Amino acid sequence: MVYTVTFNPSLDYVVAVDDFQLGMTNRTTSEQLYPGGKGINVSVILKHLGVESTALGFTAGFIGEEIRRNAQEIGVNASFIRIDKGNSRINLKLRTIEGTEINGRGPSIPVEKVHELLENLEQLQDGDVLVLAGSIPASIPDSIYRDILKRVAEKEIMTVVDATGDLLVNVLEYHPFLIKPNQHELEEIFQIQITERGEIVHYAKLLQEQGAKNVLVSMGGKGAILVAADGEVYDAAAPKGKLMNGVGAGDSMVAGFLSGWMAEHNYQHAFHMGVAAGSATAFSEYLAERDEVERVYHQIMKEDM
């Protein structure tokens, strides 16, 4: 079974506003509500690709109940721990101005609820897959991802971490199967500026030396690079298509990679599935459906021949 963890789930309110003006009343031309958070996004894409998963994390208040209801309506097995006080967050995404969003803070997570999650994760079995993705609330120590991997280290669990800064670097000693920094996050980790693809390979290999098995670096419109555990480097340009949605593309890449790896245990196939899923979501109104991913995958395979 695949388990995804989202510490700070959200209800994503995605709106389009024509001719947005500061200081004025603006009216939406379209709006959608989706369950959000990186781990949940991974679970949704996995569901679209035919892979079952259980989404773990914390929810609070009526917003939390709506997140749970929406996730289950999509077909995700939502098993969130209920927080008694506060509300889960609402994130506002302004689709018509790319990259513009306002993200809520979310509830404070009591220590006993964190312990409950850790105890639940200790029930994972050999062969399970654990995905830790996204930011954490201020009430949770930034060692939490490391603490989780330490607890499951004695089991044969495939671990995936998609996080930034110390959240990511601190887990490397526990040899996660996959990490997925984007180019900007790679630059932040090493405090450098990357201008060439060869530099991405160099710094991804440094993360391997620190413990990561596979390093998948997303580069937006410039494609992606995988430095794999078998010593190979896989490089793909971004597939051609119209950018519709930047939300969840990186999470889709993680899910696509996982589904590809679980299907064939082949790094090249997994990489192409990751790039296809990430790009298909970027070309979609929401997280890509299976047929959209398969269409982009075939495009990648034709260009790779």
List the structure tokens of 287. Answer: 């997280």
Determine the Cα–Cα distance for residues 60 and 84; give it in Å rounded to an integer: 6
Q: What is the pLDDT of residue 150?
A: 94
pLDDT by position in tens, the chain (length 305)? 999 999 999 999 988 898 888 899 999 998 889 999 999 999 999 999 999 999 999 999 999 999 999 999 999 999 999 999 999 999 998 877 776 889 999 999 999 999 999 999 999 999 999 999 998 888 898 899 999 999 999 999 999 999 988 899 999 999 999 999 999 999 999 999 998 999 999 999 999 999 999 999 999 888 999 999 999 999 999 898 888 877 889 999 999 999 999 999 999 999 999 999 999 999 998 899 999 999 999 998 877 65
pLDDT at residue number 124? 95
Catalytic site residue from 12, 128, 162, 251: 251
Indicate if 251 belongs to the active site: yes
- Which pLDDT does position 93 carry in this prediction? 86
pLDDT value at residue 5: 97
Can you give the pTM of this predicted structure?
A: 0.94
Query: What's the pLDDT score for residue 305?
Result: 57
Q: Supply the pLDDT for residue 245.
A: 77
Indicate the CATH number for domain 2-304: 3.40.1190.20
Q: Which three-class secondary structure string do you get for the chain?
A: CEEEEECCCEEEEEEECCCCCCCCCCCCCEEEEEEECHHHHHHHHHHHCCCCEEEEEEEEHHHHHHHHHHHHHHCCEEEEEEECCCCCEEEEEECCCCCEEECCCCCCCCHHHHHHHHHHHCCCCCCCEEEEECCCCCCCCCCHHHHHHHHCCCCCCEEEEECCHHHHHCCHHHCCCEECCEHHHHHHHHCCCCCCHHHHHHHHHHHHHCCCCEEEEECHHHCEEEECCCCCEEEECCCCCCCCCCCCHHHHHHHHHHHHHHHHCCHHHHHHHHHHHHHHHHCCCCCCCHHHHHHHHHHHHHHHC
Amino acid present at 141: P
